[in-house]
Amino acid sequence: MPVCSPLVPRRHLLAAAPAALALATHGSMAVAAEPAAAAAPAPVAPPAGKRILLSCKLGMIPGEAAGQKLPLAARLTLAKEAGLDGVDLDQASLYTPAEARAAVAESGVFVHNAINHAHWQKRLTSADAADRATAVANLEHCLRVAHAAGGSGVLIVVGQGGDGPAAEIEERCRNELKKVLPLAASLGQPILVENVWNKMMYDHDAPPEQGPERFIAFVDSFKSPWIGMYYDIGNHWKYGQPAEWIRTFGHRCVKLDIKGFSRKKNGFVDIVSADDDVPWGEVREALAEIGFSGWATAEVGGGDVARLTTVRKQMEQALYG
């Protein structure tokens, strides 16, 4: 057993203290005081107490002003000036995780999600293994950017129906997404499937009264809490009833994209404009019924602060009534 040294009497310690202090301050063996550590920036958070938070895509915010490229922090600040609660980083491929984190800290604007637009070109459903590998790498990058920014998910277009028979391309996509699930789980970032006009999991040429059952079957096939839906209400008003889709999605409906659509004109329009015939009242009722709480992001034509403010007010009318 080790031998313990006897305790030093308290009076000896007190007597030695001035000499020790002098040595530490002036002696040749003095150790320089360490500089004070820089204070870490306070975490950025969205407004508290709101059931539905409003954001826009980063791509809706100008990328330059007076001929000069705007840094990411300045672009995020424009969203705050328009009264939005946050931003969806739909240009995540342009930024590193460190750059995203720094821009959020500098601007104080919450970034709740990340997107990489390359998912239309480099697809998880591609027959080319190299393309699928690139798609996986892009998704992994977006997960890291979303995590660094403090967000809670990544939107993805899972592929394109023209890449092969439905069962075959869905299985291709499923196999690739399973490779990414461990990273998504470790970073706390769900992978959220967007319903788009990509001829997958709906009939592109069928009548409009379609349901979301094929989307649900795809999401549920993973048996994972890290796969959900980023439901774009305007996209599939052309094909089905949004209130019915919301009720059927239930807890799978994690985030929302918001845009107006006119069945009469068969095209996208401003939210709650005279031409927008999306049944927003029914949408509000369905969201309340499933207890939806989370982010709704505009995906419409953007512009300056005045335009972004108009979009924010349109979203409020559509979702708050």
Q: Averaged over 32-39, what is the pLDDT?
A: 54
Residue 4 has pLDDT above 70, yes or no: no
Q: Rounded to whole angstroms, how far apart are CA atoms 9 and 270?
A: 82
Give the pLDDT score at 39: 63
Q: Quickly list DSSP for 115-167.
A: E-GGGGTS-TT-S-HHHHHHHHHHHHHHHHHHHHHT---EEE----GGGS-HH
User: Does any domain span residue 273?
Assistant: yes
Structure tokens at 127: 């027959």
What is the reported pTM? 0.86
In the chain, DSSP finds a helix count (H) and a strand count (E) of: 9, 12
Between CA 133 and CA 141, with CA 137 as vertex, the angle to 5 degrees is: 170
Give the pLDDT score at 117: 80
Give the pLDDT score at 40: 64
Q: Averaged over 109-136, what is the pLDDT?
A: 95
User: Does any domain span residue 8?
Assistant: no
Q: Rounded to whole angstroms, how far apart are CA atoms 115 and 149?
A: 13
Domain count, the chain: 1
User: Does any domain span residue 22?
Assistant: no
The pLDDT tens digits of the residues spanning 153-176 come to 999 999 999 999 999 999 999 999
Rg of the chain over Cα atoms, rounded to whole angstroms, equals: 26
User: Does any domain span residue 239?
Assistant: yes
Q: Rounded to whole angstroms, how far apart are CA atoms 144 and 215?
A: 26
Percent of the chain with pLDDT over 90: 84
C-alpha distance from residue 284 to each of 3, 52, 319 (Å): 75, 11, 6
Residue 244 has pLDDT above 80, yes or no: yes
User: Does any domain span residue 1?
Assistant: no
User: Does any domain span residue 231?
Assistant: yes
Give the pLDDT score at 35: 53
Residue 24 has pLDDT above 70, yes or no: no
Strand runs (DSSP E) across the chain, as ranges? 52-57, 64-65, 68-69, 86-89, 111-115, 154-156, 191-194, 227-232, 253-258, 260-262, 267-269, 294-298
Question: Which letter does DSSP use for residue 300 in this model?
Answer: S
Largest CA distance in the chain: 94
Q: Rounded to whole angstroms, how far apart are CA atoms 96 and 94?
A: 7
What is the H or E stretch that residue 306 is in?
helix 305-320
User: Does any domain span residue 245?
Assistant: yes
- Evaluate whether 145 touches 137 at the Cβ level (below 8 Å): no
Structure tokens at 92: 């995540």
Q: Rounded to whole angstroms, how far apart are CA atoms 27 and 29?
A: 5
Averaged pLDDT of the chain: 90
Q: Averaged over 121-133, what is the pLDDT?
A: 97
| Range(s) of the domain holding residue 100 | 52-320
Question: Which letter does DSSP use for residue 225 in this model?
Answer: T
Here the CATH number for the domain that contains residue 182 is 3.20.20.150
User: Does any domain span residue 36?
Assistant: no
The pLDDT tens digits of the residues spanning 256-309 come to 999 999 999 999 999 999 999 999 999 999 999 999 999 999 999 999 999 999
Strands 191-194 and 154-156: parallel
